[in-house]
Amino acid sequence: MEKQLLAFLKYLQTERRYSANTTAAYRNDLNQFVSFLTNGRQANALHWEEVSIDEVRAYVDYMKEKAYASSSVARKVAAVKSFFNYLSKRNLISHNPTIGVDSPKVKKRLPKTLAFDDVERLLKAPTAKKSPKHLRDSALLTVLYATGMRVTEVVSLREQDIDLKNNTLRCPGKDDLQREMPVDEATRAALVAYLEVGRPSLLKDKKVDAIFLNHRGQQLTRQGLWLIIKAYAKEAELSAEVTPHTLRHSFAAHKLNSGTDLQEVQKLLGHANISTTQIYTQLSSEDKDA
């Protein structure tokens, strides 16, 4: 069993180009499934060919009995289905035991966004002072909202990713899929101020090429970014909870509300499927009806 599992995980990374984090999530979910099937026995005592649809359904029932969230059950079932589809397509099993197994329905919640005025208050909060830290924070918040980039993408930005001559920014992208983002004048101005004055003051080791640095001169972490946003949301006296993803959601909703094409927003967000982007049309419609 282990041989096929390892081959599948390698396939996810090399052929599907999944990130290390995504591949690790698949590994954890499939290892849990193996533990359920073997129930303490050695994994090599069971072969994938022997797994039946009843066992897969029993696994789903087991997770429900353990009060797993429906979203977690759906994710774990999806991992199992992907694995057996992989085995089936390579003729490593004669039947696919996941065919006919239903995943629990997951109620989709509309993303939480900020009103445009609240975004302006948040972006203005760090501009009261011109210290290296405040210049960094101003550029950081502006880039987050102006591009809709994910947290990991923003903290992963490198010097070579920013082209201020052509007003573009190369986003590292999820699962190593890069995309080019346009940089507007306000974002360009915030970046120039930070790169020319703020970052050199924070930088302690010239070998560090990350754009956004912490007080130790190292790459800013996801947790550090989250704390920065939380602090400025409090300073701006915003009543709603604000996270890095709140700015991404707000970017998408505001873009659609201003008339930007859905496919263009999909491209900017780096969504593989347009169905993922379509949820923001509901937010856009609500804004127009208000």
Distances (CA, A) of 224 to 40, 120, 154: 41, 22, 12
Residue 48 lies inside a defined structural domain of this protein: yes
Tens digits of residue pLDDT in 12-35: 988 888 888 888 999 999 999 998
Identify whether residues 43 and 122 lie together within a single domain. Answer: no
Distance, CA of 289 to CA of 267 (rounded, Å): 26
The reply to whether 122 and 250 lie within a common domain is: yes
| Residue 176 scores a pLDDT above 80 | no
Same domain for 283 and 188:
yes
The whole-number pLDDT of residue 41 equals 54
| Average confidence (pLDDT) over 178-192 | 93
Q: What confidence tens digit (pLDDT) does each residue in 31-65 have?
A: 999 989 887 555 555 789 889 999 999 999 999 88
Residues 142, 18 share a domain: no
Q: Which SS3 state, helix, strand or coil, does residue 18 take? A: coil
pLDDT value of position 288: 42
Q: Minimal CA–CA distance to 200: which of 130, 132, 128, 127?
A: 132
In one-letter notation, the amino acid at residue 243 is T
Range of the domain at 80: 2-89
* Burial of residue 8, with CB atoms counted within 10 A of its CB: 0-12 exposed, 13-18 middle, 19 or more buried: buried
- Look at residues 89, 107, 132 and tell me which one is the last residue of a structural domain: 89
| CATH number for the domain harbouring residue 231 | 1.10.443.10
- Residue 116 pLDDT more than 70? yes
Is residue 281, in this structure, part of any structural domain at all? yes
pLDDT (tens digit per residue) in 240-288: 889 888 999 999 999 998 889 999 999 999 888 887 888 888 765 444 4
Is there a single domain that holds both residue 158 and residue 263? yes
Work out the number of other CB atoms within 10 angstroms of the CB of residue 253. 26
What CA–CA distance (Å, rounded) separates 135 from 193?
7
Torsional sign, CA 93, 95, 99, 100: negative
The catalytic site residues sit at 150, 174, 245, 248, 271, 280
**Residue 97 belongs to a domain:** no
Same domain, 275 and 152: yes
**Domain count within the chain:** 2
